[in-house]
Amino acid sequence: MKFTYLLIDLFSVLVPFIFSFHPRLKFYKHWPALFPAMIISAIFFIVWDIYFTYLKIWGFNPDYLTGIHIGNLPIEEILFFLCIPYSCVFTYACLDVIIKTKTSKQSQLIISSLLLAVSVFMVIKFHTNHYTASTFALLIVLLIIIQYILKADWLYRFYITYLFLLLPFLIVNGLLTGTGLKTPVVWYNHADIINLRILTIPFEDIFYGMDLILLNVTIYSLLSAKYNKETETSGGHMFFQNNNLF
């Protein structure tokens, strides 16, 4: 039981890591853009995590932990912010190769507008629920920056990818929140969530996960574009063309 959370982390990233070296995918070539994105995003979310753990908005069951901590966070929680983004950005990149997702500016704008409207409502309606309000507030900020300031053309592809990711999300988060276990690995203070759950998963977790992966993909895409520009200038081979693998 002490290795439960650690094994969840490792099994989440194992297959994507192995397939990163597939001759068609060659995802390892994207590591120079991916790893900085993962580290920057992880720092932000770990600071948030440390603060909310301190406030006892959520916490961790020691029965499922190895006992190694960094500050007030178990090492498994730190690894979560590296393993899950790696797997999700890998999926985002690979789906663009496998199914050739086309960009739809109109659909992207509609989805972004709906998400913004829902997020604003949730922040206003549940402003006293700290996890709920902060999760949707961050989503508002990210969507405004990506949709209206950066005017990113990849956001529709992200939405499609996130739909695919919901199934593994339900499995991983289900285990972490107690599905199939006697007690949850991660517990939540009922006063800080709206207590609407999918099986054992708090409703907010779906959008917290979106925040996490969207921040990673945003930084990854910006760095990919930067590498493309630098490579074009130097006359080299572009590894990051249109964020696709080849």
* Residue 205 belongs to some domain of the structure: yes
Domain count within the chain: 1
Residues paired with 58 in a beta bridge: 188
Query: Does a structural domain hold residue 109?
Result: yes
In a domain? residue 214: yes
Task: Please report whether residue 70 resides in a domain.
Answer: yes
- One-letter amino acid identity for 245? L
> For 125-171, how does the pLDDT look when each residue is reduced to its tens digit (9 = 90+)?
999 999 999 999 999 999 999 999 999 999 999 999 999 999 999 99
Look at residue 235 in the predicted model and tell me its pLDDT.
55
> What is the overall mean pLDDT for the chain?
92
- Residue of 158, 167, 164 whose CA lies nearest to 112: 158
User: How many Å is the Cα radius of gyration of the chain?
Assistant: 18
Looking at residue 227, its pLDDT comes to: 80
Q: Which backbone phi and psi does 62 adopt, to 5 degrees?
A: -65, -15
Establish how many alpha carbons lie within 13 A of residue 206's alpha carbon, considering only the half-sphere containing its beta carbon. Answer: 17
Mean pLDDT calculated for residue range 64-84: 97
> What average pLDDT does the segment 70-95 reach?
96
| Residue 162 within any structural domain of the chain | yes
Q: Is the pLDDT of residue 242 over 50?
A: no
- The answer to the question of residue 26 being in a domain is no
Euclidean distance between CA atoms 246 and 239, whole angstroms: 8
Is the residue at 183 inside a domain? yes
pLDDT 10s digits, 187-196: 999 999 999 9
Rounded CA gap, 1 and 174, in Å?
16
Q: What is the pLDDT of residue 98?
A: 74
| Structural domain boundaries, residue 158 | 4-13+32-233
Structure tokens at 202: 């708090």
CB contact set of 194 (below 8 Å; sequence gap of 6+): 126, 129, 132, 202, 203, 204
Structure tokens given for 160: 């499609």
Predicted confidence (pLDDT) per residue in 177-187, tens digit? 999 999 999 99
pLDDT band at 234 (very low <50, low <70, confident <90, very high): low
Region 91-105: what's the mean pLDDT?
Answer: 80
In a domain, 23, yes or no: no
CA distances from 231 to 30, 238, 241 (A): 14, 6, 10
Nearest to 243 by CA among 106, 97, 144, 109: 97
